Amino acid sequence: MILSVCPNPCLDVYYYTDVLKEDDTNRVENPLISPGGKGVNAARVISRFCDDSYLALPLGGCIGSCVRELLEKEGVVSIITETESETRVNTILEQRAKGRHILIASRGAPLSESETEKLKTSICKECNPKVLILGGSVPPSLPKDFYAEIVDEFKGTKTKTIVDADGELLKKAVEKGPFAVKPNKHELERLVGHPLL
């Protein structure tokens, strides 16, 4: 069993344009929408190749319902923590002519104490995953050692923990010795404190 965890999922909305005019209306093609967040993206890919794959995540509001529906259409089996707050939206604007894109990422709403406990319960040792993927940012209510605590909890078990995060979340998790980490170039530079060659 592979369990992916995405504490701060989102709906990604992609807009494509050739020219971006400042201080004016930009008419663009219909947006592409998809479920987002690092843990979500991992689960979406894994579910195509593995029948025993699950995704644990909090979802709420109209946006959360949309994310849930899109995941169901892709065949992703989800363990959902229902939230009072709306699931966040990320907006990506791609300017084709210049090969540039702008990402506007919402921080996400805080989880209540009971919602946090439900999410933690869905990441239980009793389900005995072979691989546990902890992916992306966390809501503002969760501590920066959230992933580190989970990695520590699974130490001494047969579960292989993989962390795909940034900043303090990644740094603190690394200190607990996960099986693997998957930073991109910029995240790795922030982790080691200097540019990569």
3-state secondary structure the chain: CEEEECCCCEEEEEEEECCCCCCCCCCCCCCEEEEECHHHHHHHHHHHHCCCEEEEEEECHHHHHHHHHHHHHCCCEEEEEECCCCCEEEEEEEEHHHCEEEEEECCCCCCCHHHHHHHHHHCCHHHCCCEEEEECCCCCCCCCCHHHHHHHHCCCCCCEEEEECCHHHHHHHHHCCCCEECCCHHHHHHHHCCCCC
Mean pLDDT of 85-109: 93
Mean pLDDT of 173-192: 91
Work out the end-to-end distance of the chain between its first and last CA atoms, rounded to an integer number of angstroms: 37
CA-based radius of gyration for the chain: 18
**Is 197 exposed, middle or buried (CB count within 10 Å of its CB: 0-12, 13-18, 19+)?**
exposed
Q: Is residue 182 predicted with pLDDT exceeding 90?
A: yes
Residue 114: which pLDDT band, with cuts at 50, 70 and 90?
very high
Q: What is the pLDDT of residue 126?
A: 66
Give the domain ranges of the chain.
2-10+36-86+108-192
Give tens-digit pLDDT for 64-76: 999 999 999 999 9
Residue 29: which pLDDT band, with cuts at 50, 70 and 90?
confident
Residue 193: which pLDDT band, with cuts at 50, 70 and 90?
confident
Residue 5: which pLDDT band, with cuts at 50, 70 and 90?
very high
Q: What is the pLDDT of residue 155?
A: 93
Q: Is residue 172 predicted with pLDDT exceeding 90?
A: yes
CATH topology of domain 2-10+36-86+108-192: UDP-N-acetylmuramoyl-L-alanine:D-glutamate ligase (3.40.1190)
Cross-strand bridge partners of residue 194: none
Residues 6+ apart with CB under 8 A from 192: none
Looking at the chain, the whole-number percentage of residues with pLDDT higher than 70 is 99
